A and B are shown apart, each in its own frame.
Chain A
Amino acid sequence: MAVRETVETVDEVGKYKYGFFTDIESEKAPKGLNEDTIRFISAKKDEPEWMLEWRLEAYRRWLTMQEPSWAKVNYPEIDFQDAYYYSAPKSDEDRPKSLDEVDPKLLETYEKLGIPLSEQKMLAGVAVDAVFDSVSVATTFKGKLKEAGVIFCPMSEAIRDYPDLVRKYLGSVVPVSDNFYATLNSAVFSDGSFVYIPKGVRCPMELSTYFRINEAQTGQFERTLIVADEGSYVSYLEGCTAPMRDENQVHAAVVELVALEGAEIKYSTVQNWYPGDENGKGGIYNFVTKRGDCRGADSKISWTQVETGSAVTWKYPSCILRGDNSVGEFYSIAISNNYQQVDSGTKMIHLGKNTSSRIISKGISAGKSSNTYRGLVSVHKKAEDARNFTQCDSLLVGDKCSAHTVPYIESKNPSAVLEHEATTSKISEDQLFYCMQRGLGEEEAVALLVNGFCRDVLQQLPMEFAVEAQKLVGISLEGSVG
């Protein structure tokens, strides 16, 4: 199909500024970003007008913003006009028909991670009809969630079906004008997930399994919103241990969490996007804005992340501790190998009384990579008796990598108690020799030692992922020694 046709389509969409234009043949918006592209995306998703306006407002703001440069990462300048901002999910015809058509290297990694065959198909994007059990599994889950009153659906569906909830909470944690990438995301977000847990409901399952099966193809501008109403609980897992390939180099996701009074949200991420090759060629640039708002008293938000992929990672999952006695937690493992660059950390903003936060960060750098922890603990004037404990540990594998720790601590209330501990260590030759004398190969020894180093954080992951994450740690460090 000619590009020209697509361009014409976009022109048409432009004309139907206020209409709901559903019947569009083209599957891809033309290259570049302008108001027409945004109208195209919005129309493609059959969005109501308020949503389109919201996107356009974000776009206009974005035009006035500068790409941030304070992070300790280096990458060539990104030409935002030289990218596609919308392409429909691949149709079944374009997908591989069976695992035989999938890159054997990818399958090898699945094998190492111990991912069951049926899930391998899903992850490799094999056409849905070839995956016999997925539909029934998903249906079972859906029924269970519905019974509990939990809403869990694609963001685009939520915008249509639950506009009141979406309008109330979308952008309420990460405002449209928040930062360059978040604003871009607000303008062009492709899809993502929406979760609402009603008052007093404990979500009957980890939202991980379901997610893994259904949301493998999320696109480059993901938008997620999770609202836990009073006294509710949910545990959510994003991403998966299996390597994710994507042709789009720039990813800018936004995740917003809202915990109302007495609610708890546990959000776990395993990020394994393509990191580029051993020479630092290719790889995803991952610019993510994740923030949770402990809006009600006695609420709790806990972030756990295992970051092993991407060429460039720019990511600071944060907690706004607004409600009195609210609790924020951040547990992180960030692994960089070869030429990967990671600048990640968290922000804990203490606003309410008796708020407490805990930060455990484990950075592992290998190869020629650079790994930075950047964190802010801020205690505002009215935050009586705020507490924070921060522990930042860096581990170096080899002698060509680097680790940096950049903690910012601000306290405007004298009653605050803030603790910060930091260590940097190396895997010692003694430790390697000891492990190898017991029969472990060198890479196996490194994997075991690094897993030991990360133990406090791995324990925070949902059970079924902890095992996979452990293996992932080993796989990420392959080729880092010897």
Chain B
Amino acid sequence: MLEIKDLHVKVDGKEILKGITLSVGTGEVHAIMGPNGSGKSTLSYVLSGREGYEITKGEILYKGKDLRAMEIEERAAAGVFLAFQYPIEIPGVTTMTFLKTALNAQRKARGEEELDAVKFLRLVREKAGPLNVSEDMLKRPLNVGFSGGEKKRAEILQMALLEPSLAVLDETDSGLDIDALKVVSDGVNALRSPDRSMIVITHYQRLLNHIVPDKVHVLSAGRIVRTGGKELAHELEETGYADIVEA
């Protein structure tokens, strides 16, 4: 699904990622862990194509295609989804309208028929229920005045609706209490499928108790310093990053 080879990225002239190589197979869930400032969020932005992230070396292949040649919205339509650490407020645009506009923009880009209001409504209700997203929330402007939990649930709802092939979840656990974490994790787990890959970026191990990864990578100072199975996360929980980073 995703092949990253020797990726170097500069932000504002400063090298943040210093040679990342990562291979995520179809249907796999990879966790990327690491201390603050290690370059985790940078990786998520590079994958989604945000401006200001200059790739100085290396390549990113997504489904065999050069991701760098694609615009932000082309990547989205091709199935790259980023769940934001801090979802952005969109004043005046209801969650419902936003979801419909996004879904239809992607469908249109893929040459599929756009959904009419009735079909769309049925689809949203079907996806919103399990995530505890109420009708009221759908009618409110997206992320405006949402609690931390509501914002994250809205992100996962978008993911459920847009059905990406590659989902990057950036610190999805931040700002969530235990109950909200459970709802969100259940939502993500429900979306695990043999043809969908996920990259779960997190600082803490606790999210990985709920979303159990196939592989865990530890990112430090722009490099992957260790790779292992799910047990690596537990090890980190006990020893902290310091030991691994210094090793």
Chain B, Cβ-Cβ closest to A458? B92
Chain A, Cβ-Cβ closest to B78? A439
Complex interface: chain B residues within 8 A of A282 (CB): none
Complex interface: chain B residues within 8 A of A175 (CB): none
A440/B105 contact (C-beta < 8 A), A433-B50, A434-B84 known: yes
Chain B, Cβ-Cβ closest to A455? B92
Complex interface: chain B residues within 8 A of A433 (CB): 50-51, 72, 88
User: A437, B90: Cβ atoms under 8 Å?
Assistant: no
The CA-CA distance from A429 to B88 in the complex, in Å, is 10
The CA-CA distance from A252 to B73 in the complex, in Å, is 44
Does B16 belong to the interface (CB within 8 Å)? no
In chain A between 428 and 449, which residues have their CB closer than 8 angstroms to a CB of chain B? Answer: 428-431, 433-442, 444, 448-449
Does B60 belong to the interface (CB within 8 Å)? no
User: A439, B92: Cβ atoms under 8 Å?
Assistant: no
A448/B98 contact (C-beta < 8 A), A435-B90, A453-B92, A455-B92 known: yes
Complex interface: chain A residues within 8 A of B88 (CB): 428, 430-431, 433-434
User: A439, B90: Cβ atoms under 8 Å?
Assistant: no
The one of B48, B92, B102 that contacts A451, using a Cβ cutoff of 8 Å: B92
Complex interface: chain A residues within 8 A of B162 (CB): 438-439
The CA-CA distance from A441 to B72 in the complex, in Å, is 8
In the assembled complex, the CB of B160 is this many whole angstroms from the nearest CB of chain A, namely 13
Complex interface: chain B residues within 8 A of A342 (CB): none
Does B205 belong to the interface (CB within 8 Å)? no
Does B9 belong to the interface (CB within 8 Å)? no
Does B185 belong to the interface (CB within 8 Å)? no
User: A439, B73: Cβ atoms under 8 Å?
Assistant: yes
Complex interface: chain B residues within 8 A of A451 (CB): 92-93
User: A438, B158: Cβ atoms under 8 Å?
Assistant: yes
The CA-CA distance from A397 to B81 in the complex, in Å, is 26
The one of A428, A440, A455 that contacts B102, using a Cβ cutoff of 8 Å: A440
Complex interface: chain A residues within 8 A of B43 (CB): none
The CA-CA distance from A434 to B87 in the complex, in Å, is 8
The CA-CA distance from A437 to B46 in the complex, in Å, is 12
Does A452 belong to the interface (CB within 8 Å)? yes
Complex interface: chain B residues within 8 A of A452 (CB): 90-93, 141
In the assembled complex, the CB of B152 is this many whole angstroms from the nearest CB of chain A, namely 14
The CA-CA distance from A177 to B102 in the complex, in Å, is 53
Main SS of chain A's interface residues?
helix
User: B93, A449: Cβ atoms under 8 Å?
Assistant: yes
Does B218 belong to the interface (CB within 8 Å)? no
A437/B105 contact (C-beta < 8 A), A430-B88, A452-B141, A453-B92 known: no
Complex interface: chain A residues within 8 A of B90 (CB): 431, 434-435, 448-449, 452
The CA-CA distance from A451 to B91 in the complex, in Å, is 9
The CA-CA distance from A430 to B86 in the complex, in Å, is 10
In the assembled complex, the CB of B76 is this many whole angstroms from the nearest CB of chain A, namely 4
Chain B, Cβ-Cβ closest to A440? B105
Does B82 belong to the interface (CB within 8 Å)? yes
User: B101, A440: Cβ atoms under 8 Å?
Assistant: yes
Complex interface: chain B residues within 8 A of A150 (CB): none
User: B84, A439: Cβ atoms under 8 Å?
Assistant: no
The CA-CA distance from A428 to B143 in the complex, in Å, is 15
Q: Inter-chain contact count A-B, CB under 8 Å?
A: 72
Does B2 belong to the interface (CB within 8 Å)? no
User: B106, A448: Cβ atoms under 8 Å?
Assistant: no
Does A454 belong to the interface (CB within 8 Å)? yes
Does B131 belong to the interface (CB within 8 Å)? no
Does B24 belong to the interface (CB within 8 Å)? no
User: A444, B105: Cβ atoms under 8 Å?
Assistant: yes
In the assembled complex, the CB of B153 is this many whole angstroms from the nearest CB of chain A, namely 16
Complex interface: chain B residues within 8 A of A436 (CB): 71-73, 76
Most chain A beta carbons < 10 A, residue from B49, B73, B162:
B73
The CA-CA distance from A448 to B90 in the complex, in Å, is 9
Interface string of B193-209 (1 = CB under 8 A from A): 00000000000000000
Interface string of B211-224 (1 = CB under 8 A from A): 00000000000000
The CA-CA distance from A247 to B220 in the complex, in Å, is 66
A440/B93 contact (C-beta < 8 A), A430-B88, A434-B87, A448-B101 known: no
User: A439, B102: Cβ atoms under 8 Å?
Assistant: yes
Interface string of B35-59 (1 = CB under 8 A from A): 0000000000000111100000000
Interface string of B155-185 (1 = CB under 8 A from A): 0001000100000000000000000000000
Complex interface: chain A residues within 8 A of B50 (CB): 433
In the assembled complex, the CB of B142 is this many whole angstroms from the nearest CB of chain A, namely 9
Does B77 belong to the interface (CB within 8 Å)? yes
Does B109 belong to the interface (CB within 8 Å)? yes
The CA-CA distance from A428 to B71 in the complex, in Å, is 19
The CA-CA distance from A10 to B90 in the complex, in Å, is 61
Interface string of A443-478 (1 = CB under 8 A from B): 010001101111110000000000000000000000
The CA-CA distance from A449 to B97 in the complex, in Å, is 11
Complex interface: chain B residues within 8 A of A430 (CB): 88
Most chain A beta carbons < 10 A, residue from B81, B84, B101, B158:
B101
Contacts A/B (CB < 8 Å), 10 sampled: A433-B72, A438-B76, A438-B98, A439-B103, A439-B162, A440-B101, A444-B101, A448-B93, A449-B93, A452-B93
- 15 additional A-B pairs beyond A433-B72, A439-B103, beta carbons within 8 Å, are A428-B88, A430-B88, A431-B90, A433-B51, A437-B72, A437-B76, A437-B81, A438-B106, A439-B109, A440-B101, A441-B73, A449-B90, A452-B90, A454-B92, A455-B92
Binding site for A on B (CB under 8 A): 48-51, 71-73, 76-77, 81-82, 84, 87-93, 97-98, 101-103, 105-106, 109, 141, 158, 162
7 tightest A-B contacts by CB?
A: A452-B92, A452-B93, A455-B92, A438-B102, A439-B106, A434-B88, A439-B76
